[in-house]
Each structure stands twice: as structure tokens, then as C-alpha cells.
Amino acid sequence: MSLEMEQRVAKLEQEMMDLRQELEDLKRQQSVEKISTLSARKAMIEQSTPKPAQNLKPNSNPNPNPKPKTMTAPEKKMQPQRTLEERIMWALPKLFMVILVMGVLWGLKLVSDYGFLSNEVKIILAYALSLALAAIAYVLEHKKIGSPAITISLYGGAFIVGILTTAASAILYEIIGLTMALVIAVVYIGYGIAISFLKKNEVLTVFVAFTSLLLPYLLEYMDFSPVIILIYVIVLFTMLQLVIHHHKQKLALYIATFFSVLAVSIVAFMNDDNQAVFAIGLLVVLSIFYTSWCRLYNAESKWKHIHVGLQFSLGTFSLLLMNFIIRFIEYNEALLLILVILFAVLAGYGYKQKWQEAFDSAVTLAFITLCNTLLVMNLPEKVDHLLIPFIIFAGVMMGLRLRASMMKVVGSFLFAIALALSFIIHEPTPLFSIDHVSLIMPGIYLLIIYVYARRPKETLTSFEKFMKEMYVVDIVAVITAGYFLAYIGKLDGTYFASVGNIPHLTCLILALLFVGSLLVPTKYKGRALTPVLSGFFVLFTVMLEIIPYNMQGVEWLNIVTRIVYIAVIVAIMIDVLMKGRIYQIYQEQAEKLLDQIVSAGIVLTMISVWGLIYQLSYNSLLDWKLSIAFSTITLFLTASISLWLSTVRNLQTLRLTGFVILVIAFIKLIFFDLSALDLLIRAILFISIGGIGLLLSGRLLKK
């Protein structure tokens, strides 16, 4: 072989090696392109585009070993969501299967009514229908004919028809012996659990659970031992958990739990004995349920609030049934304490997993059950009157401390009931007694709750923001003040006020509370307390002066009350006019409503002074003629002050008020006082009014 030929052969071998290297590079690129859809589309475009000839030359790729591109965020496999139409189409076979079963049952009844078929033949036909449905479903599934929804419906229909036929043959027609019926029912239940596990359909699981939990009533009819019935329910519920856990069927869990709890309770109600056994069985069912619930709960799910709500509802429903079951058991509080421990364990697990909603729900359930336990305990007389409100108060404080929304709502509702009952039941007599202490303590609890709820927080939860927008904490301040006033009213009615009179001691305390609310900043008293107290203060002021019988009662208390009301109104007006503390706190409102506030204060002061004058006259501390003269002087003096202040402060409403009062004063003076007063009193009155008028005129003209 010549040298030239050898060089050509070597060159061809080199080109072959380069082509093999390029082929391997292309294979690597194709494997990388399978990861990314975008890269795959680009590869298809590149393959469909003709490449230039120079790209096929050897050594055209400067990097013979290119690194594959890494995908920073590979696309997730999204499961297609069914549309509404698809869901309806999927549910139709199940609906039609139920309709078919009902139609068959009614058809058999019709045939039976006309006497065409005997009971034995009807039962045989029903069993044949059940087996036929199962066989048709198997054939359709094996040959892959039809929709899976049809197959599942046929399997479920076979189960339902079989169970109903077994119950009818044993109880209604008494064709099959009870023992044989029990065996057939157990076989069908095993078949139902098996197809639920294999077909992965939650609706089928619900059907199986509902129908299987009807068997305890058959067992009760057969006079089986209650313990055996209870064991059956627990075993069946446990077997259903295998299906529920494996396929994550949460709805089936709730429905199976509801009917299991209901079955245990109904069988317990049908038996007078072994109530403790049924109570323990209910606790076992709840333990299994909460274990499964914790395994299926997803704290990131958008439906977590619904799942927590269903869990809470089943817990409260079970607690209610537990109370009915254990009502005749001697140590029933021990069973309730076990339930408290169960809820506490659930709360601890939720806290460990940082499930705030689940923890909130479990703590609330434990709290409610603890209160229930105290109610059924045999406590010494009237000790429970102190203990129960305290326990509820502790629950509310725990909810506030843990910021548990559901516990706040439930605890507040229970505390409101305890508060109302404490006020209705207890009286402040004797003064030193448990009844009196039971009346005082809820008010102290309210004050503590309000002070603790007002504490500043760095961040607010959505529930706390909603409560702030709804003025809930501010309303608590109003309720606290209202309970305190109601308590003072009871004291007043018991020790001071006579029957049928407005309690003046309560009015006195209301005035002091109103003044205190004006002097305290809003961040401490809330936004609703002062407006509510001001409304009641004005109302009581008018009631004290206008209603005649309010002058009855304890003499000194009535007089002191009226003087206090006058002093409060005058002090508020002076503070507002002199821009004192109250004005500084409510500066924005005071600047806008200064004219109206001073005008209303002038009128209320005049009415209050009138009431004081007539109170002194009623108590024979002032002659009635002098009371008439003083009332007229009060009118002129009020008009003079109003006109003078309106000129100094340029208050238009106050000026109009002064002129109106002045007209009323002249009318009273001319048409009433001249005929009612003797000469001496009349002279003193006119001298006083004339002096006041001259002084006022001088001031006005000077301005």
C-alpha cells in the first residue's frame, strides 16, 4: 500500500470517529430535551429545518462534550380537573343505580301485593339480581366495556341489594334463620369493603359504611349481646380505616364516624344495662376517628377550616350523646375526664405539628368537656356557683392567651350564659354570703377579660381584625360597665330605694362612671363606652327631673344625686369652654360641636336646678312660694348666661337658646308668678330679675 493510500485511510478513520462523536452528542441532547417541553419543541423545529452542509463536516462542533442543560424548575405533572359536566356525568350512573334498586323493590312489593309471587321466590329473585349485578360489573370491567362509573355503580348496587335482601328475609319475611342471615350479611360486608378498597371510589365507600352500620340494629333484633354488637361496630369502623387511609377518603371518614357513633348510641339507648361498656366503646370510636383525622389532615389545604369544623362538630355531637349514655352511671365524671384527656392529647399533637386551627378546636373541645364534667360532679352546695363561672373564665383567658379563635367564641358564649344566670339567680343578701360573692365575681372576671383583651399585639390574625372592626372588645367594656351598674341597682333596690322608684344610687354611680369615662383616654376605655354612658346620663337626667315620683325615696340620696348631676354638667361645660382635659381628649369633636354641647349643657343644667328646687320643696326644706320664685330666677339667670356666653364665644345656637329661655321666663313671670306670689316675694323676685337684666344688658352693650 502506497503512502498516499495510507494517509487517505487514516483520514477516513478520523472522519468516522468524528461522526461517531457527533452522533453520541446528538443522543445526549435528545435525552436532555425529553425533560423540558420547551427544549423538545425546539428540537422538533431544528429537525424540521434543513441544516447547512458545513454542519455535517467533522470537527464542526468546537466542544465535543457539551454539558446538558440543567432544568431549574421542571414542569409538574398537573392532574386534569373534571369539569362540572364531567362530574355530573360521573354521578349519573350512581343515581340511576339507586333509582333502579328502588324500582326493583317497589316492583317486588307490587307483585307481592297482587299475590303473583311468594316471599321465597321474591327473596331468591333479589339475591339473583344482586349476583347478576356483580357478574355484569365483572364482565364489563374484564372486557373493558363501558365507563368505570357504570362498573362501580353495578358493584355498589349488588352490595346494597344483597344487604337489603338479607335484612328483609330475616326480619320482615322470616324466611332465613337469623344466624344464616348474619353470616350472609358479614359476607356482603366483606365484599363491600373489598370492592371499596380495590375500586378506590369514595362514594362506594360511603355506601358500604352506611349500609354496613345498619347491621347493629339487626343484631339487636336478634338479641345478641351488647358487647358483641359493640365489638362489631368497632371492628367494622377499624376495617373501614384501611380503605380511608389508603385512598385518602376524608368525606367517607366523617360519614363513617357519624354513623358509627350513632349506632353505638342507639344500641345503648335500646339497652338498660352495660351503659359503661357502650360509653367506653364510644371513646374507642372517637380515638380511632381522631387518629385517622390527624393522619389525613393537611394544614396547607384550602379546605382546612371545613375539616376542622367537621371534626369539632363530631366532637360536640359525641359529647352530647355521651351525656345521654352515662346519665345513670355512678361515676360518670370519670368517663368524661377520659374524654377530656383525649381532646387534650389531640390538642397537644396539633400544637406539636403547629396546626393552629386544629389546636384551637381541640382545646375548645377539652374546655367544653371539662365544664360538662363539673356540671355532673356532686359538688358541695353553692360551691359550683363559684367554680363553674371561674372555669369558664379560665377557658376564655386561655383562648385569649393562645389566640384560639374558636375557643374565644365558644368560651365567650358560655361565659355570657354564666354571667346572665349568676345575675338572675343570686342576690346581695345577706351582705356576707356565697350568693353575694357569686354575684360580684363575674363582674371582676369581665374586667380582667377586658383588660387582657386590650393588651397591644404586634400583629393581628384575621379573626382579631374582624373582631376589631366589629367593636367586640369595645362592647366588652360596655358590658362590664353595664354589669357593674346592674349590680349597684340590685344593691340600691335591696338597701336604699323603695319599691317602684328609680334607684338614685345607681344614677349617682352612673354619673361618676360617665365623668371617669370622659377623663380616661380612648386606648384604655374603648371606643363605645363614653357614647353609651353619655346617652344613659342624658336619659337619667331627664327622667330624674321630669317624672314626679322620682322625688320619693331616701331624702338625702335624692338631693345629693341631683347636686352631683348639676355639678357634672357644669364641670363639663367649664372644661370645654376653658379647653381643659376633656376638651384636649375630644378636641376634634369639641371644636365642631362646641355650640351644640354648650347649649345642651345650659338646658340640662337649668332642668336639673329646677328639679333640685322642687325636690327641696317636696321635702319641706324650701317654701313652695320661694320655689316658684327661684325657678323663675333660674330661667332669667340661664337666659342671661346663655346670651353672655354666646356673645363672648360667638355661638349662634346658644344665642337662640338664650332668647327662647328669656321668652319663656317672661311668660312665666307675667302669667303665672304674679297671681301665685304674695307682695313680698313678688318684690324680691322683680328686684332680682331687674338687677340680672340690667347687668346682662350692660355686658351685651359693652360688647
- Give every CB contact of residue 523 below 8 A, 6+ residues apart in sequence: 454
Q: Which residues of 23-44 are buried (b: 16+ CB within 10 A; e: fewer)?
A: eeeeeeeeebbeebeebeeebe
Residue 56 predicted with pLDDT over 70: no
Contact predicate 573/583, CB 8 Å: no
DSSP H stretches of helix in 472-623: 472-495, 504-519, 522-525, 529-546, 555-577, 581-585, 587-618
Please report the pLDDT score of residue 669 as a whole number: 76
Residue 317 predicted with pLDDT over 80: yes
Residue 64 predicted with pLDDT over 50: no
Please report the pLDDT score of residue 571 as a whole number: 92
Work out the average pLDDT over 106-129.
71
Q: Among the listed ranges 157-161, 402-406, 411-415, 430-434, which one has the minimum average pLDDT value?
A: 402-406
Q: Which of the 8 DSSP states describes residue 671?
A: I
Please report the pLDDT score of residue 291 as a whole number: 93
- Give every CB contact of residue 467 below 8 A, 6+ residues apart in sequence: 473
Residue 464 or residue 30, greater confidence: 464
Q: Kindly indicate the confidence band of residue 212, based on its pLDDT and cuts at 50, 70 and 90.
A: confident
Work out the average pLDDT over 232-258.
89
Please report the pLDDT score of residue 136 as a whole number: 85
Residue 673 predicted with pLDDT over 50: yes
Q: What are the contacts of 336-344 at 24+ separation with CB within 8 A?
A: 336/369, 336/372, 336/373, 336/376, 337/373, 338/283, 339/283, 339/286, 339/369, 340/366, 340/369, 340/370, 340/373, 342/283, 342/286, 342/287, 342/290, 343/315, 343/369
The model's pLDDT over 170-192, given as tens digits with 9 standing for 90+, comes to 776 777 777 787 788 888 888 88
Q: Kindly indicate the confidence band of residue 116, based on its pLDDT and cuts at 50, 70 and 90.
A: low
Residue 639 predicted with pLDDT over 70: yes
Q: From CA 297, how far away is CA 318, in angstroms rounded? A: 20
Q: Among the listed ranges 223-237, 370-384, 637-651, which one has the minimum average pLDDT value?
A: 370-384
Work out the average pLDDT over 643-647.
84
Work out the average pLDDT over 397-419.
82
Residue 500 predicted with pLDDT over 60: no
Q: Among the listed ranges 11-25, 102-116, 251-265, 382-396, which one has the minimum average pLDDT value?
A: 102-116
Domain segments of the chain: what residues?
Answer: 3-51, 93-212, 492-622, 639-703
Is the pTM higher than 0.85? The answer reads: no
Please report the pLDDT score of residue 81 as a whole number: 57
Percent of the chain with pLDDT strictly greater than 70? 77
Mean pLDDT (the chain) is 79
Winning range, highest mean pLDDT, from 214-223, 455-464, 511-520: 511-520
Residue 665 or residue 697, greater confidence: 665
Q: From CA 36, how far away is CA 33, in angstroms rounded? A: 6
Residue 101 predicted with pLDDT over 70: no
Please report the pLDDT score of residue 475 as a whole number: 92
Residue the block writes with cell 337684666: 693
Please report the pLDDT score of residue 106 as a whole number: 63
The model's pLDDT over 524-540, given as tens digits with 9 standing for 90+, comes to 888 899 999 999 998 88
Winning range, highest mean pLDDT, from 15-29, 50-64, 85-99: 15-29
Contact predicate 435/492, CB 8 Å: no
Residue 407 predicted with pLDDT over 80: no
CA–CA–CA angle 583, 659, 595 (5° rounding): 20
Residue 696 or residue 159, greater confidence: 159
Closest CA to 601 of 524, 680, 525, 518: 518
Q: Kindly indicate the confidence band of residue 156, based on its pLDDT and cuts at 50, 70 and 90.
A: confident
Work out the average pLDDT over 139-143.
82
- Give every CB contact of residue 561 below 8 A, 6+ residues apart in sequence: 504, 505, 507, 508, 511, 544
Work out the average pLDDT over 567-594.
88
Residue 394 predicted with pLDDT over 70: yes
Residue 130 predicted with pLDDT over 80: yes
Work out the average pLDDT over 334-339.
92
